[in-house]
Amino acid sequence: MSGSRGFRHACGVGVGRSFGISLEKCGTAARWGGKYGVTASKTPRGPHVVGAQALLDGPTLDDSTVITRSLDQPELFAVLFDRHADEIFRYAARRLGGEIAEDVVAEVFLAAFRGRARYDRSRPDARPWLYGIATNVAARHRRAERRRTRIMARVPAERPGSFDDRSVERVTAEQLQPRLAGALAALSARERDLLLLVAWTDLSYEDVAQALQVPIGTVRSRLHRVRAKLRRALGGIDPLSMEPQA
């Protein structure tokens, strides 16, 4: 996403062209944009979009600063959408499928917008916060996720690949090894949330801890247990490297 035209560009063009989401299908996010004057009837030079574009065109500001400024200028929150919507969409799509992911992205950014006054401004990167919201939103779609994972467990993998490869072309739910998909389906929701945040994002353990609102020691110990559980289910194959372990 180019990040050059504020919310309308992000929703109607950036996400739309990349993932086939029309402005109408942005759902809640489009209604949020409309509330602040960024609608399909506005041109990219509308007054609210100009504010967001000016912020984008100027010196790079961290997410915390953007969120703080958006408290007085709500339209500037579009900058956060521009920066991170694609990434949140990919995470949601891998877990739930593309159609549900569209709604998840809209829900995530609406919840973030409404809760932005409570954001911890000492944290310059908002991605852990957004991933935490996305994980909570995904929890409302557990049935769809379980169904999707179980289907993947019955579909032969087209090719092997590293589970923690960040390439969209290589790491998707459709390309998970069937045994791994079955093992994932058997995990608890808490275990799966942790493993997928570690495997499908570039968040550090500290970031994952922030996203899940648990101590970093809990992340490390819980991940150790989950990996051991999956290694047993996979016959000694490590779930993150997909390599045999001694």
Q: Which of 197, 188, 156, 178 is nearest to 237 (CA)?
A: 178
Eight-state DSSP code of residue 7: H
What pLDDT is recorded for position 122? 95
Report the pLDDT value the prediction gives residue 95, as an integer from 0 to 100.
86
CATH dotted code for 141-246: 1.10.10.10
- Which burial class, exposed, middle or buried, applies to 118 when counting CB atoms under 10 A from its CB (0-12, 13-18, 19+)? exposed
In whole angstroms, give the CA distance from residue 169 to residue 108.
24
Residue 145 pLDDT: 60
Q: Taking Cα atoms as reference points, which of 214, 212, 215 lies closest to residue 193?
A: 212
Residues 48 and 73: their CA atoms lie apart, in Å, by 9
Q: Tokens 């956060």, residue?
A: 80
- CA gap 137, 108 in Å, rounded: 7
Q: CA 183 to CA 193: how far, in whole Å?
A: 14
Question: Along the chain (246 residues), what's the average pLDDT of each consecutive run of 10 residues?
Answer: 35 34 39 41 39 58 95 93 95 87 93 97 97 94 63 52 42 52 84 93 96 97 92 77 62
pLDDT at 156: 56
CA-based nearest residue to 105, from 15, 6, 203, 200: 15
Domain with CATH 1.10.10.10 in the chain: 141-246
pLDDT of residue 163: 45
Indicate the Cα dihedral angle 41, 47, 52, 58, nearest 10°.
Answer: 140
